[in-house]
């Protein structure tokens, strides 16, 4: 069995700013844990990104930026866009509402989505069962736990830990001190940048 781990730190403030820091699993001796950071600031209409192994940050000015009110983790887990769309097929899925449970001190409501891939559909000699289980906090508007099981790709588990309801400091949504800041303003045809990362 091969196991990969990625640590994500996420924050959002009362004005809709979001912060997401990803620390992928270290690959290779001496490479260290390189962090990648994305900030979306609908108040100042900017998106900021940087990585921990450089001293440069990119600030993209977003003339049409609008806060979505939904965190990136919620978007990735399917909370924002309705039922999860399974990879590789448009087979119909069965949605089952689960009971509530407490995940790391937060009450969450569960949903399990199941889809069966018939034998022979994708070169498989037997039917495959793919499941997506999501536990969402109605209070935080975010998935606090997610479990994806797919025989084609393996199992993925996401769990939200170290949850704090305190307002994050404003400096968290700014480029780190001492970094060189590269500013960009996308032209009208490229306003896809305006979407929240």
CA angle 66, 71, 73 (to 5 degrees): 140
Domain ranges of the chain: 7-66+166-194, 72-159
Alpha helices in 61-189 (DSSP H): 72-76
Cα gap 100→116, rounded to integer Å: 25
127-184 pLDDT, tens per residue?
Answer: 999 999 999 998 888 899 999 999 988 999 999 999 888 999 999 999 999 999 999 9
The kind and range of the H/E element at 148 are strand 142-150
Q: Which residues of 56-94 are buried (b: 16+ CB within 10 A; e: fewer)?
A: ebebbebeebeebebbbbbbebbbbeeebebeeeeeebe
pTM of this structure? 0.66
68-112 pLDDT, tens per residue?
Answer: 444 545 444 444 334 444 555 556 789 999 989 999 999 999 999
């Amino acid at each position: 069995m091969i196991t990969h781990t990625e640590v994500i730190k996420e924050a959002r403030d009362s004005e809709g700013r979001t912060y997401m820091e990803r620390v992928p699993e270290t690959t290779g001796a001496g490479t260290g844990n390189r962090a990648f950071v994305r900030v979306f600031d609908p108040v100042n209409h900017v998106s900021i990104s940087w990585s921990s192994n450089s001293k440069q940050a990119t600030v993209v000015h977003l003339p049409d930026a609008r806060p979505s009110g939904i965190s990136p983790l919620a978007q990735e887990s399917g909370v924002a866009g309705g039922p999860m769309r399974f990879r590789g097929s448009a087979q119909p899925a069965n949605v089952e509402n689960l009971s509530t449970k407490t995940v790391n001190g937060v009450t969450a409501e569960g949903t399990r989505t199941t889809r069966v891939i018939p034998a022979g559909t994708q070169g498989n000699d037997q039917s495959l069962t793919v499941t997506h289980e999501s536990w969402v906090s109605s209070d935080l508007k975010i998935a606090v736990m997610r479990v994806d099981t797919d025989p084609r790709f393996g199992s993925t588990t996401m769990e939200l830990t170290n949850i704090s309801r305190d307002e994050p400091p404003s400096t968290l949504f700014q480029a780190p001190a001492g970094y060189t800041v590269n500013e960009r303003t996308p032209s009208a045809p490229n306003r896809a940048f305006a979407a929240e990362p």
